Amino acid sequence: MPREWEECIKEGESLYQYMMEHFEEMFDGNEIKHFSIWYATWWMQSYYHDVQEKWGKEIQDELILWIRKEKEIEQLNNPVFWKPFRDSDSFCNIYQGYKKLFLYQNYYFQLIIQSDCQDCIYCEREENQIHFELALYGWKDESGLIQPYNELIIGTDMLMPSKPWSSK
């Protein structure tokens, strides 16, 4: 059963607050605890696994630098840049999504804070599973449009377009 939007907001705020209070605990040296790459929309289901297999470690290395830079310039700390999203499968799970997209090669990802993890080495070591994750958002082809949607354009500010950002 899909959750009410008010519940989504509360859970999103809780995830954001955890990040603010436990930022360094979300890392283990040069790794993000519980890290994975997922998909932002059902259109990405057939693509995200290949991206994770091919570039997972390389992406994570660059992502950590990017996350730390975003925190340093204080956008990561600004709640205006975060909002809750329902997962694209059941609409029952909630994640907190960051408005500024992360670019790796020609792939765009949304940084998210998620509380659900399955079967990673950190799950065996600790109870808390709140972690950073990347959701594959799309890629840019020669048309300049974000695929596979073929209608979205990402500006130089790397902010998510307003239509998907404002959806519930």
Taking only the tens place, the pLDDT of each residue in 6-43 is 887 888 899 999 999 999 988 988 888 888 887 776 66
Going by C-alpha positions, the residue among 154, 61, 75 that lies closest to residue 108 is 154
Q: pTM, whole model, 2 decimals?
A: 0.85
More confident site: 101 or 160 = 101
- Residue 4 neighbours by CB under 8 Å, 6+ apart: none
More confident site: 19 or 147 = 19
User: Each residue of 120-143: pLDDT tens digit?
Assistant: 667 666 666 788 888 888 888 777
* Contact by Cβ (8 Å): 140, 154: yes
C-alpha dihedral sign at 103, 13, 16, 43: negative
Report the mean per-residue pLDDT for the chain: 82
- Position 119 scores a pLDDT of 62
Q: Is the pLDDT of residue 79 over 90?
A: yes
- Position 1 scores a pLDDT of 38
